[in-house]
Amino acid sequence: MKKMVSILLVLVLCLSAASALADVIVPSKTPVDDYEVIVIPSPAKTEVKVTLDPNDPNAVALLEKMIAVQKDGGSVDDFFGAVILPDGTASSVSALFGTDAVTVNELVGIKVEGTVDGKITLILDVPSVYQPGDKVYVLIGILVGEPGDVNAVTWYAFEATVTEKNQVAIELTPELFKAMQDKESVIAIVSVTK
């Protein structure tokens, strides 16, 4: 009898964790998470490389933290806190969308290499499916504490454009590009819950 109760308890806990994850992350369009980044313009004199890593330990730890916040009844705003916009002002994620019914579709590590002199556009090809006209924000989190300390993250928010190929495009400043080189970084893509 005790064994049966233990098995049922394990099943309930597994289903609860899966349910919490389903509320936070939208299923990918493919079983294999393929991530690609196109950099425009790619400076002729310098090679710029940007890679996204869904297995990045910081991203995995942040995802676990997000699930814990949600289980405690918290919101997306409780997880991200104030996000910094390109003009330097701060906002909440729900204020950016005008609703708190938003979903974090992707949360992966990001690594940048090279140097840029001006703004660059990143075109992100990710598993989640977006349509042109969808309101989408890309949040870049820079870990500001010790390496691996996901309790100290500064989030920057960029309104994204969805291309005709369902890719997500954002423009980065050289200052943020440099800051991302100097610290561990993650990227989250957020949209209105459908």
- Confidence tier at 114 by pLDDT (50, 70, 90): confident
- The number of C-alpha atoms within 13 Å of 115 and in the hemisphere containing its C-beta is 3
Check residue 18 and give its pLDDT: 37
Give the number of domains in the chain.
1
Per-residue pLDDT tens over the stretch 25-70: 333 333 335 678 888 765 555 678 899 999 999 999 999 999 999 8
Check residue 38 and give its pLDDT: 81
Expressed as residue numbers, the domain containing 85 is: 2-192
**pLDDT above 90 coverage of the chain, percent:** 52
Q: Give residue for tokens 């890679």.
A: 51
Q: Is the pLDDT of residue 136 over 50?
A: yes
pTM of the model: 0.79
Q: Percent helix, strand and coil across the chain, each rounded to 5? A: 30, 30, 40
The type of residue at 57 is: P
